[in-house]
Structure 1
Amino acid sequence: MSLITRCETPADTAAIREVNLLAFGKTYEPDLVEAIRSDPGAWLPHLSLVAVADDGIIGHILFSRVHINSTPVLSLGPLAVLPNHQNQGIGGALMQAGLTAARTAGEHLVILLGHPTYYPRFGFLPATTFDIHHPHIDDGPHLMVLPLDDTPVPAGTITYPPLWNT
């Protein structure tokens, strides 16, 4: 299978919605992607990437702007791959492309809420390691961070844009 990763374009929005809907089986994630696109404080178009195969867009990864106290950081999510293309390395390819794009853009830190056995393979660590906390949920193993460089990691509470409450 031929696979490329690239930034999303306006022509990709319907396919991205479909990928997220099929990957998660509910509307929260596709609605969140659309809400992030509409928020200039959270939307980073150069950090919304798609995986394209011979049969079209089969995966999507999104990084958006959040803060730890007043320090701007990235939030990763969603990361979605069509069900019939999962477990083939596509999510990993999107993750590597996204992290490379984030580093190239001069970003310093990524946070996420995700599966505690999947994301550590990319270097993610429990957020509590850095005294980073979620404002509304338990700081359990699902809350993780990845420093992208040697910049000191800020401790504190994550501030999400109001759109995350949709």
Structure 2
Amino acid sequence: MEIRQEREQDYPEIYRLVKEAFAASQHADGREQDLVEALRKGSAYLPELALVAEEDGLLAGHIMLTRAGVGDAPVLVLAPLSVRPEFQRQGVGTALMERAHEIARARGEEYILVLGSEEYYPRAGYRPAEELGVTVPEGIPSANFMALRLREDAEPLGGTVAYAPEFGL
């Protein structure tokens, strides 16, 4: 499996992949693929942090980290992480996260936030964001709003997250 930056010619397949990945998810709103396309057009998009996992010429998974802020501190938001159904539970999502974390650290990023499964993301080091000083957005269970500190010397966070407008939050 190769993990690489997404390319423009991948966009139609990524759209289908994201749609398939979230089709059976109980927490999906059915628009995750549209969010990916909207984020690409916005100012929060970071091309080097939009990655695909490719297996035998087929895209198996996709991850996107975009810019956000907590107070005055820049942070990243992981959304969405998508794995094609036939590749789920085979380590594709974990491999995508590990590579994205590695690139983010190399860029000097300090934190990544995610709204997701309280069973899945802690395996990659995520913990409740409120433990790191981030106010949980209203209406979101604190167990599902998590953060990862990428650097031990990261300045403490404090405040609410300001998402890219494409998230509609």
User: What TM-score range do you get, normalising by the shorter chain?
Assistant: over 0.9
Q: How many residues align?
A: 163
Letter paired with 1:165: G
Distance apart, 1:22 and its partner CA:
0.1
- Which one is further off, 134-143 or 10-19? 134-143
Q: For 2:132 and 2:141, how far apart are their aligned partners in 1?
A: 12
CA contact under 8 A between 1:61 and 1:78: conserved in structure 2? yes
2:84 alignment partner in structure 1: 82
2:105 corresponds to which of 96, 103, 106? 103
2:53 alignment partner in structure 1: 51
Distance apart, 1:137 and its partner CA:
2.7
Q: Where does the alignment leave 5 or more consecutive residues of structure 1 unmatched?
A: none
Q: Where does the alignment leave 5 or more consecutive residues of structure 2 unmatched?
A: 24-28
Letter paired with 1:74: L
Distance apart, 1:139 and its partner CA:
4.7
Fraction of identical pairs, as percent: 38
2:155 alignment partner in structure 1: 152
Q: For 1:154 and 1:110, how far apart are their aligned partners in 2?
A: 11
1:6 alignment partner in structure 2: 4
- Which one is further off, 113-122 or 136-145? 136-145
TM-score norm. by structure 2 comes to 0.92
CA contact under 8 A between 2:5 and 2:47: conserved in structure 1? yes
2:26 alignment partner in structure 1: none
Q: For 1:90 and 1:138, how far apart are their aligned partners in 2?
A: 27
SS at match of 2:45: coil
Q: For 1:101 and 1:15, how far apart are their aligned partners in 2?
A: 23
SS at match of 2:147: strand
Cα RMSD between the aligned structures? 1.4
1:29 alignment partner in structure 2: 32
SS at match of 2:63: strand
- Which one is further off, 43-52 or 126-135? 126-135
CA contact under 8 A between 2:61 and 2:92: conserved in structure 1? yes
Distance apart, 1:55 and its partner CA:
4.1
SS at match of 1:47: strand
Q: C-alpha offsets along residues 9-55 of structure 1, whole Å, 9 cap, x if unaligned?
A: 11111111111000001641111111100102x10000000000014
Following TM superposition, the consecutive aligned residue runs of length 4 or more in structure 1 with deviations greater than 3 angstroms are none
